[in-house]
Amino acid sequence: MKKTAAFVLITVLLLSLVPFGKLASAMYGEKILDGSIAEWGTLDHIATAENNGLAGANLRDLYIAWDDEYLYVAMTTRNSQSWDVAYGIGIDVDPGTGNGYTGTSDAWGRRISFGGGYAADYELYFWWSGGDGKITSDNFITWTGGGWDYKGVKDVGGDFVYTGDSSTGLQLMEIKIPWSALGGKRDKIAIVAWIAGGGDSSAVSALPWDSAMESLDAPYANWYGGDEWGDTDYFTELAEVAIAPKAIDGNLDDWESYEVVGVSSLDGPDGADLDKLYVSYDDQYLYIALTTNNTASWNVAYGIGIDVDPGTGNGYTGDLDSWGRKIGFGNGYAVDYELYFWWSGGDRSITSANFNRYKGDMGGEYWENWEYNFASFSYAYTGGDNGLQTLEIRIPWNAIGGATSKLAIMAWVAGGDGSSAVDTVPDDPEVDGNDWVDQDQLSKFAVIEIPIPKPELTVKLTSNVLDVEPRKPANLTIDVRNLGTVEAKNVTVALYDNDRLLASWIVNLSAGGNASFWYIYEYPGMWGTHVFKAVVDPENTIEEFNEDNNVDTITLDVGRLPKLQNTFVMHNMFYGTRHFEKDYPKYKELDQQLRNMPLPEDAKERLDELQGEVLDLVKLYNEGKDMITQPNYAFMGAIKIYRAYTGLKKIIREMEEMLRKAQEGEYEREKYLEELAKNLTKTIDGNLDDWDVQPVAIDETGFGQDGANLKALYVDYDDQFLYIALTTENKASWRVAYGIALDYKDGGYTTGTDAWGRKVGFTEGVDAQLYFFWNGEFFGDLGTSNITSAQLVLWNGTAWKYEDLKWVGFYNYTGGAENGLQTLEIAIPWVVIGGEPKNLKIVAYVTGQGSGDSAVDVLPLQEAVKDNAPGDEWGDADTFSEFAVVTIE
Write the pLDDT tens digit of every residue in 356-387: 999 999 999 999 999 999 999 999 999 999 99
Of the three residues 186, 215, 242, the one that is the final residue of a domain is: 242
State mean pLDDT over 130-157.
Answer: 96
Q: Which residues pair with 77 in a beta bridge?
A: 59
**Number of domains composing the chain:** 5
The 8-class DSSP code of residue 718 comes to -
Spatial distance between the Cα atoms of 316 and 338, rounded to a whole number of angstroms: 10
pLDDT-derived band at 1, boundaries 50, 70, 90: very low
Q: Which of 497-506, 621-630, 864-873 has the lowest average pLDDT?
A: 864-873
Cα 65 to chain centroid, rounded: 27
* Same structural domain, 753 and 874: yes
pLDDT tier for residue 873 given thresholds of 50, 70 and 90: confident
User: What is the three-class DSSP state of 537?
Assistant: coil
Same domain, yes or no: 568 and 544: no
Same domain, 299 and 194: no
3-class secondary structure, 213: helix
pLDDT in tens, 692-709: 999 999 999 999 999 999
Q: Is 308 helix (H, G, I), strand (E, B) or coil?
A: coil
**Torsion angle of the four alpha carbons 826, 827, 833, 834, in this order, in degrees rounded to the nearest 10:** 160
Task: Give me the helix-helix angle, 601-627 and 577-595, nearest 10°.
Answer: 160
Query: Average pLDDT, stretch 598-606?
Result: 90
Whether 22 maps to a domain, the answer reads no
pLDDT band at 766 (very low <50, low <70, confident <90, very high): very high
- What's the pLDDT score for residue 5? 38
- The confidence score (pLDDT) of residue 225 equals 45
What are the pLDDT digits (tens) for 517-538? 999 999 998 888 999 999 999 9
Q: Which of 558, 583, 605 is the last residue of a domain?
A: 558
Mean pLDDT, residues 755-781 taken together: 95
CB contact burial 628-667 (16+ within 10 A = b; e otherwise): beeeeebbebbbbbbbbbebbeebbeebeebeebbeeeeb
Q: Where are the beta strands (DSSP E) in 183-322?
A: 188-196, 203-207, 233-235, 239-242, 260-263, 274-281, 285-292, 300-307
Q: Is the pLDDT of residue 331 over 70?
A: yes
Task: Output the pLDDT for position 21.
Answer: 26
Assign 3-class secondary structure to 551-607.
Answer: EEEEEEEECHHHHHHHHHHHHHHHHHHHHHHHHHHHHHHHHHHHHCCCCCHHHHHHH
pLDDT given for residue 27 in this prediction = 57
pLDDT band per the 50, 70, 90 thresholds, residue 217: very low
Is residue 835 one of the residues assigned to a domain?
Answer: yes
Q: Determine the pLDDT at residue 547.
A: 82
Is the pLDDT confidence value at 871 over 70?
A: yes
Averaged pLDDT for residues 21-43: 68
Give percent of the chain above pLDDT 70: 95
| pLDDT at residue number 328 | 97
One domain, residues 543 and 515: yes
Please compute the mean of the pLDDT values over residues 719-730 and round it to a whole number. Answer: 97
- Please indicate, yes or no, whether residues 388 and 516 belong to a single structural domain of this protein: no
| Spatial separation of the C-alpha atoms in residues 189 and 145, rounded to whole Å | 18
State the Cα–Cα distance between residues 150 and 500, nearest whole angstrom: 53
The helix (H) or strand (E) run that includes residue 128 is strand 122-129
Continuous segment of H or E residues that includes residue 474: strand 474-482
Contact between residue 824 and residue 772 where contact means Cβ atoms under 8 Å apart: yes
Element (H, E) at 505: strand 500-509
**Is residue 29 one of the residues assigned to a domain?**
no
One domain, residues 582 and 628: yes
What's the CATH code of the domain at 298? Answer: 2.60.40
Instruction: Report the range of poorest mean pLDDT among 394-398, 546-550, 881-885.
Output: 546-550
CA distance 235 to 116: 8
Let me know: does 789 contact 773? Beta carbons within 8 Å.
yes
Confidence of residue 129 (pLDDT cuts 50, 70, 90): very high
Tell me: do 69 and 197 sit in the same domain: yes
Rounded Cα–Cα distance for residues 687 and 685 (Å) = 5
Claim to verify: residue 581 and residue 495 sit in the same structural domain:
no
pLDDT value of residue 215: 56
Asked if pLDDT for residue 308 goes beyond 80, the answer is yes
Phi-psi region of 446 (alpha: psi -120 to 50; beta: other; left: phi over 0): beta
What is the pairing mode between strands 710-717 and 697-698? antiparallel
Whether residues 626 and 533 share a domain: the answer is: no
Task: Report whether 43 contacts 205 (CB < 8 A).
Answer: no
Same domain, 372 and 466: no
Say yes or no to pLDDT of 219 above 80: no
Answer yes or no: do 319 and 206 share one domain: no
What integer is the mean pLDDT of 305-327?
96
Residue 37 falls inside a structural domain: no
Q: Is residue 16 part of a domain?
A: no
610 found inside a domain: yes
Q: How confident is the model at residue 571 (pLDDT cuts 50, 70, 90)?
A: very high
Per the domain annotation, does 3 fall within a domain?
no
Helix-helix angle 560-571:634-663, to 10 degrees: 50
Q: Which of 449, 468, 494 is the last residue of a domain?
A: 449
Q: Could you count the other beta carbons within 10 Å of the beta carbon of residue 781?
A: 9
| Region 822-849 average pLDDT | 96
The per-residue pLDDT for 487 is 86
Quote the pLDDT of residue 235: 94
Question: Which residue range(s) make up the domain with 501?
Answer: 457-558
Query: pLDDT tens-digit profile of 647-683?
Result: 999 999 999 999 998 898 888 888 889 999 999 999 9
- Does some domain include residue 315? yes
Predicted confidence band of residue 38 (pLDDT cuts 50, 70, 90)? confident
- Listing DSSP states for 744-798 in one string gives -SSS-B-SSS-TTS-SEEESS-B-EEEEEEE--BBTTB---SSEEEEEEEEE-SS
Q: Are 91 and 126 members of one domain?
A: yes
Q: How many CB atoms lie within 10 A of CB 318?
A: 15
